[in-house]
Amino acid sequence: MRKNIVAGNWKMNLDLTEAQQLMTQLLSYSNNNKSNCEIYIAPPSIYTMMAKDLLDGSSIGVFSQDVSEFESGAYTGEISGKMLQSISANGSLVAHSERRQYHGETDSHANRKVKMLLDLGLTPIYCNGETLEQRKAGQHFEVVKNQTEVALFTLSAEEIKKVVIAYEPVWAIGTGETASPEQAQEIHAHIRSLIAAKYGQDVADEISILYGGSVKPDNAKEIFSKPDIDGGLIGGAALKIGDFSKIIEGFN
């Protein structure tokens, strides 16, 4: 059975004191409230080990925002999967739209990262989604299909069941455009149908697909009620405990 997940991607935000405060608030919330979903955070890499220490013993998962496709070597600024494994991190985001836009990451890179994480027993949260130009050109189904196939379809059925997918409508993030819950559901169903066609419906039904398109406290419940949306990859709203906790409660 697939999991309900609310994951907070902190991006490049918060200084040390602010990060510690937010983690402490989230830990207190988790300890004092029953959640009907799994809670993950992806803080900046400089805080990953601190997050593991502060959240030790809790059910909150700690993820990296990115990971190298290489095991080790002369790759300045990179973080390896073995490094994440060594501090007991849970996994990493892979191919986030900002990694694609600013760092030229492709689905071939993503494929190698996903496989490497799985080989280490870590969870990849693989991100995909179309741009505004692609959406306006009616290419969104084909774009997401190609992304999913290149990044994931070399995996075995057992491997792909361990991947979390996050659909990001890049066209609806910071553009003034708005994606409706129905549009989100449409693409989520499309992704699940692609997996079903390749691996069978039973495998597709085990994979959590998250929505990464500006989930907020006032729309979380409606978005999470859609049959193929299993949670959210949350950006700005994950930086405020009040907003993030209300989004988590969208599953209540």
Complete DSSP assignment for 96-147: -HHHHHHH---HHHHHHHHHHHHHTTPEEEEEE---HHHHHTT-HHHHHHHH
The 10s digit of each residue's pLDDT in 63-96 is 999 999 999 999 999 999 999 999 999 999 999 9
- The answer to whether 235 is a known ligand-binding residue is yes
- The answer to whether 34 is a known ligand-binding residue is no
- CATH assignment at residue 149: 3.20.20.70
Q: Is residue 168 flagged as an active site residue? A: yes
Quick one: pLDDT at residue 1? 76
How many domains in the chain? 1
- The answer to whether 30 is a known ligand-binding residue is no
CA 5 from chain centre, in angstroms, equals: 9
The catalytically annotated residue of 38, 140, 168, 188 is: 168
Q: Is residue 96 flagged as an active site residue? A: yes
| C-alpha torsion angle, residues 139, 144, 146, 151 (rounded to 10) | 160
Structural domain harbouring 181: 5-251
- The answer to whether 128 is a known ligand-binding residue is no
The 10s digit of each residue's pLDDT in 142-190 is 999 999 999 999 999 999 999 999 999 998 776 667 688 999 999 999 9
Name the pTM for this structure. Answer: 0.97
The catalytically annotated residue of 38, 96, 109, 140 is: 96
